[in-house]
């Protein structure tokens, strides 16, 4: 029997099974990936799409913002490679930031699904590669400096490798074995998706996904529209400021328009694009606008293409949230992650019980270490670690938890195995959460040591040195971020430097904003904070620790 709204249990069973297929495929990719970025930090997505390239099911781990991009990517790929040209075993890849996930290190892959000789859908993945060539720093002034740009092209044709494409790609990166290993891991995930999709159609007696996709798209769309209708019509505005780069502070101006069952988000008035890597392409801006709204308004319904049809996102061309080619974009998250703060600040007057204060991890702070060990082996590792989330009206913010991305921090032991680096300490950062009736989540302090006889290159990509995560409803801001060498030298969070042999660096991740007036916090919770070490007693001389100057 074909599932329908009159058979919600049958539809849920089918939808859950297809979602489970994407989760199984994601597990395959995690277990076969070469780099720690995928294995440990979950910087990927896996989706199943219908014949039009619209997502039907999305993996429940990985980066949800990526999943929001896959339908628009599918439309572009199908425009370049029409359905009649696909063969079983084909594979198209791209990392074009304007059509994929916003910067060159993320490689998206799409493969067709054939059932009984007929094209019925597509599998899609996107994953952060360990290396894409170029200059891994804020020093790039255009896209071409940041690495190799891959337009949509076939990596596999009818199951065979396009050797020329492979050779060209691997000749332009430093870690060819890791990159190719991760691409093969993505391909393995696609194989799982294809197999499970065919089994799904056989088991439920369906010739294709068309009727199923129509149902789940309509259901997701209806659920979000119903949530939007509960909001009062109006235009809600907020502005968010961030450090930016070298005399170019970032300003995000956000207007959220609620009209019936639709929401429009417009970023007119935001900063102009800059000759630095903090520009966020419009598709990335859309993804990190739609995802925060989805989890705010309709967190229970699974996401697919239908989840995003009631939301429109616009921004003037030439702005930092809609730059024109060939703007540098490798650190686009330093702008894109801020959008959730602007949206939630704008909607706080009408949804005070559901929004959260600014998160310290919006934007995320990333650190890339690269060098050669004492045996002459090159290495490159990205440190994914998380700051504190903002508090809500009813709950303290989560400590060391990513938002609006949900990338994992991974295991520092895995990084130690894959590189000569040593982690001296990794601990919660006292007093980093903004005070309030509900306290902001804590950041963390991470100390990294270089035990080798050679310097290690260190690239810092972060923000919130001067602009902390703001509180809401009288809550105080969280602590700002900083990095300091064991010599006492402060490092810019947008810099490239050397970690000398035998030296260490301490990276302090920021805290989330508080919610509500601090004097309203219940006494027993204040005592518990002190006993747990989350908040130091007033008698502690913060000037001695140097902490006060970093708030």
List, for residues 297-316, the tens digit of each pLDDT value: 999 999 999 999 999 999 99
115, 208 Cβ separation under 8 angstroms: yes
Q: What is the rounded distance in angstroms from the CA atom of residue 382 to the CA atom of residue 341?
A: 25
pLDDT (tens digit per residue) in 100-112 = 999 999 999 999 9
Q: How far is CA 449 from CA 157, 202, 239, 488, in A?
A: 46, 55, 39, 15
Q: What is the mean pLDDT of the chain?
A: 93
Instruction: Tell me which of 61-65, 117-121, 207-211, 268-272 is least confident.
Output: 61-65
How confident is the model at residue 295, as a pLDDT? 94
Q: What contacts 214, CB < 8 A, 6 or more positions away?
A: none
pLDDT at 39: 84
How far is Cα of residue 150 from the mean position of the Cα atoms in its chain?
Answer: 21
Is the Cβ–Cβ distance between 311 and 290 less than 8 Å? yes
pTM score of the predicted model: 0.93
Judge whether residue 549 has pLDDT over 60: no
Note the pLDDT tens digit of each residue in 195-248.
999 999 999 999 999 999 999 999 999 999 999 999 999 999 999 999 999 889
Residue 387 is encoded by which pair of tokens?
Answer: 């700051």
Give the per-residue pLDDT at 108: 97
Tell me what pLDDT residue 53 has: 96
Q: Cα separation of 44 and 194, whole Å?
A: 18
Q: Which of 192, 270, 286, 193 is nearest to 238 (CA)?
A: 270
Between CA 186 and CA 67 the distance in angstroms is 15
Taking alpha carbons only, the member of 28, 26, 55, 57 closest to residue 43 is 26
Q: Looking up tokens 């599918």, which residue turns up?
A: 74
The pLDDT tens digits of the residues spanning 153-179 come to 999 999 999 999 999 999 999 999 999
Q: pLDDT band at residue 406, thresholds of 50, 70 and 90?
A: confident
- Whose CA is closest to 313, among 347, 343, 286, 345? 286
Residue 543 is predicted with a pLDDT of: 46
Weakest-pLDDT range from 60-74, 326-340, 436-450, 500-514: 60-74
Q: How far is CA 63 from CA 22, 66, 68, 113, 186, in A?
A: 13, 5, 9, 23, 15
DSSP string, 89-146: T-EEEE--TTTSSSSTTEEEEEEEEEETTEEEEEEEEEEE-S---S--STT--SGGGG
Q: Which pLDDT belongs to residue 140?
A: 81
User: Do residues 442 and 399 lie in contact, with contact meaning Cβ atoms separated by under 8 Å?
Assistant: yes
What's the pLDDT band for 501 if we cut at 50, 70, 90?
A: very high
- Using pLDDT thresholds of 50, 70 and 90, give the confidence band for residue 281: very high
> Is pLDDT at 539 greater than 50 in this prediction?
yes
The answer to whether 241 and 270 are in contact (CB under 8 A) is: no
For residue 4, what pLDDT is reported? 52
pLDDT of residue 542 exceeding 70, the answer is no
Residues in the chain: 551
**Residue 42 tokens, joined:** 């979950």
Give the pLDDT confidence of 441-494 residue by residue, as tens digits. 999 999 999 999 999 999 999 999 999 999 999 999 999 999 999 999 999 999
State mean pLDDT over 497-509. 97
pLDDT of residue 2: 45
**Strand order of the sheet with strand 248-259?**
234-245, 248-259, 262-266, 311-314
Residue 6: what pLDDT? 58
Given a contact cutoff of 8 angstroms between Cβ atoms, the answer to whether 124 and 72 are in contact is no
pLDDT for 95: 97
């Amino acid at each position: 029997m074909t599932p329908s709204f009159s058979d919600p249990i049958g539809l849920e069973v089918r939808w859950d099974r297809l979602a489970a297929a994407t989760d199984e495929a994601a597990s395959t990719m995690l277990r076969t990936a070469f780099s720690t970025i995928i294995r440990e930090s979950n910087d990927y997505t896996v989706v199943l799409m219908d014949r039009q390239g619209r997502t039907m099911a999305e993996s429940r781990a990985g980066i949800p913002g990526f999943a929001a991009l896959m339908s628009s990517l599918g439309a572009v790929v199908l425009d370049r490679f029409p359905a009649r040209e696909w063969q079983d075993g084909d594979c198209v890849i791209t990392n074009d930031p304007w059509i994929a996930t916003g910067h060159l290190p993320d490689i998206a892959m799409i493969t067709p699904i054939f059932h009984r000789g007929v094209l019925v859908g597509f599998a899609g993945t996107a994953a952060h590669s360990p290396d894409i060539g170029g200059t891994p720093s804020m020093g790039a002034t255009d896209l071409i400096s940041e690495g190799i740009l891959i337009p949509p092209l076939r990596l596999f044709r009818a199951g065979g490798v396009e050797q020329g494409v492979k050779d060209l790609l691997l000749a332009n990166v430093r870690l060819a074995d890791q990159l190719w290993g991760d691409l093969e891991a993505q391909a393995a995930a696609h194989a799982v998706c294809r197999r499970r999709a065919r089994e799904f159609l056989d088991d439920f007696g369906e010739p294709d996904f068309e009727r199923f996709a129509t149902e789940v798209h309509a259901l997701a769309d209806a659920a979000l529209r119903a949530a939007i209708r509960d909001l009062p019509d109006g235009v809600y505005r907020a502005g968010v400021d961030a450090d930016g780069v070298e005399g170019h502070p970032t300003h995000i101006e956000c207007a959220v328009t609620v009209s019936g069952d639709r929401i429009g988000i417009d970023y007119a008035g935001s900063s102009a694009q800059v000759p630095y890597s903090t520009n966020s392409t419009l598709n990335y801006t859309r993804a990190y606008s739609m995802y925060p709204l989805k989890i705010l308004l309709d967190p229970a319904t699974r996401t697919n293409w239908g989840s995003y049809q009631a939301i429109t996102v616009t921004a003037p061309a030439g702005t930092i949230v809609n730059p024109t080619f060939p703007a540098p974009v490798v650190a686009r998250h330093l702008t894109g992650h801020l959008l959730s703060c602007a949206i939630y600040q704008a909607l706080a007057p009408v949804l005070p019980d559901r929004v959260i204060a600014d998160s310290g991890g919006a934007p995320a702070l990333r650190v890339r270490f690269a060098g050669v060990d004492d045996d002459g082996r090159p290495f490159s590792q990205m440190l994914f670690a998380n700051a504190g989330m903002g508090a809500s009206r009813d709950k303290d913010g989560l400590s060391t938890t990513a938002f609006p991305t949900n990338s994992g921090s991974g295991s520092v032991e895995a990084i130690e195995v894959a590189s000569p680096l040593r982690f001296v300490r990794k601990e919660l950062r006292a007093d980093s959460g903004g005070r309030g009736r509900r306290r902001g989540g804590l950041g963390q302090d991470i100390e990294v040591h270089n035990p080798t006889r050679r310097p290690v290159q260190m690239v810092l990509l972060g923000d919130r040195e001067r602009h902390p995560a703001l509180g809401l409803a009288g809550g105080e801001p969280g602590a700002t971020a900083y990095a300091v060498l064991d010599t006492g030298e402060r490092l810019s969070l947008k810099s490239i430097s050397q970690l000398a042999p035998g030296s260490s660096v301490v990276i302090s991740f920021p805290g989330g904003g508080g919610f509500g007036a601090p004097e309203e916090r219940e006494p027993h919770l204040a005592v518990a904070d002190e006993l747990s070490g989350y908040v130091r007693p007033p008698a502690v001389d913060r000037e001695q620790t140097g902490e006060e100057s970093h708030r």
